[in-house]
């Protein structure tokens, strides 16, 4: 299957808690001074297992093309993390017939290591999601849904710590308010918890208690709502500290390059979202200083599956 390898490439340098500007550096020098982490990510794939067969996206996407790219990157890079920001379900006849089984099996085959839940992942109810999770060999992480009075009790993690070489990665997840968006019969007694207070709690815990080198938020809050005060990735990144990277979903936003936001504490947050339907595979190359001062240099790519 043919693909266009890179549709956009940008190099940005970020020194968390220090300065921000453009950097020029060679891979050889970075290998001596930094640990490199490659974050691959998707969001809102919506049961698109095959490429689009018509319309503006004809020939784009599909699990096979995504696997080709992921496999190539894993051969080239040492520390690769693959994650998803939710809305795995709903959108094609595959979901209507198999209710998410194929999507879970495909993600397991691709080697996903963590995902959060989007509102459409509730579309066949909690019992169904519980059933389909049996086909997933990766954890679902949602920090601001309380499932204690549901069948998902103790089955959805509030956070996950993953080691890649010498890099300790802390991951937590945030879901959108379900009331008014998802029918009550589908999410039942799932309780929604304020995402801002939740983010402050888990980001601080992962950064300072668990001593994670990088904290990643898998968010299904939405990138931005055109100046409205509704909580979004942009707003959260401004007012919450200790989050280094936000992998977003829900608003189907095609960012040509990651957004870099300076928060109220003077630190920089990388925010990215890659549209929907598996058209794009996001890639963030993050360089972490070995002295644990948490300086990050970021090289980012959007890969279009074609």
Task: Kindly report, residue by residue over 174-187, the tens digit of the pLDDT.
Answer: 999 999 999 999 99
Give Cα 125 distance to the centre of its chain: 23
Alpha helices in the chain (DSSP H): 27-33, 63-76, 93-98, 101-110, 125-132, 184-187, 195-204, 233-239
Q: How is the chain split among helix, strand and coil, in percent rounded to 5?
A: 25, 30, 45
Q: Note the pLDDT of residue 301.
A: 44
Could you list the residue range(s) of the whole structural domain that residue 171 is in? 4-304
**What average pLDDT is seen over the chain?**
86
Give the span between the Cα atoms of 224 and 235, in whole angstroms: 8
Q: Report pTM.
A: 0.88
Structure tokens at 81: 């993390």
| Domain count of the fold of the chain | 1
Burial 15-49, CB ≥16 within 10 A → b, else e: bbeeeeeeeeeeeeebeeebbbbbbbbbbbbbbbb
Task: Kindly report, residue by residue over 14-43, the tens digit of the pLDDT.
Answer: 222 222 222 223 344 445 577 889 999 999
Q: Quickly state the pLDDT bin for 213 (edges 50, 70, 90).
A: very high
Q: Note the pLDDT of residue 19.
A: 22
Q: What is the CATH number of the domain that holds 116?
A: 3.60.21.10
Task: Kindly report, residue by residue over 44-81, the tens digit of the pLDDT.
Answer: 999 999 999 999 999 999 999 999 999 999 999 999 99
For residues 101 and 129, the answer to whether their CB atoms sit within 8 Å is no
For residues 172 and 158, the answer to whether their CB atoms sit within 8 Å is yes
Give the span between the Cα atoms of 71 and 62, in whole angstroms: 14
């Amino acid at each position: 299957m043919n693909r266009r390898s890179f549709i956009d490439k940008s190099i940005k340098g970020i020194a968390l808690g220090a300065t921000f500007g453009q950097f020029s550096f060679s891979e050889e020098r970075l290998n001596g001074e930094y640990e490199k982490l490659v974050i691959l990510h998707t969001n809102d794939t919506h049961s698109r297992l095959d490429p689009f067969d018509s319309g503006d996206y004809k020939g784009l996407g599909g699990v096979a093309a995504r696997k080709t790219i992921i496999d190539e990157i894993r051969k080239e890079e040492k520390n690769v993390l693959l994650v998803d920001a939710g809305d795995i379900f709903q959108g094609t006849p595959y979901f209507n017939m198999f209710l998410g089984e194929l999507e879970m099996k495909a993600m397991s085959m691709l080697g996903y290591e963590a995902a959060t839940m989007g509102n459409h992942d509730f579309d066949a109810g909690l019992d169904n999601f519980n059933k389909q999770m049996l086909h997933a060999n990766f954890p679902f992480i949602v920090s601001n849904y309380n499932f204690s009075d549901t069948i998902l009790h103790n089955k959805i993690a509030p956070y996950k710590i993953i080691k890649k070489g010498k890099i300790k990665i802390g991951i937590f997840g945030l879901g959108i308010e379900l009331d008014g968006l998802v029918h009550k019969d589908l999410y039942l007694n799932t309780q929604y918890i304020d995402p801002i207070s939740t983010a402050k709690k888990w980001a601080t815990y992962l950064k300072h208690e668990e001593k994670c080198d990088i904290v990643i938020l898998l968010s299904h809050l939405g990138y931005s709502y055109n100046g409205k005060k509704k909580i979004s990735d942009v707003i959260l990144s401004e007012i919450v500290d200790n989050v280094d990277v936000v992998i977003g979903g829900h608003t189907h936003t095609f960012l040509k390059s990651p957004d870099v936001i300076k928060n109220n504490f003077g630190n920089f947050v990388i925010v990215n979202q890659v549209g929907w339907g598996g058209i794009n595979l996001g890639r963030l190359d993050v360089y972490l200083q070995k002295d644990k001062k948490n300086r990050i240099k970021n090289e980012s790519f959007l890969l279009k599956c074609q």
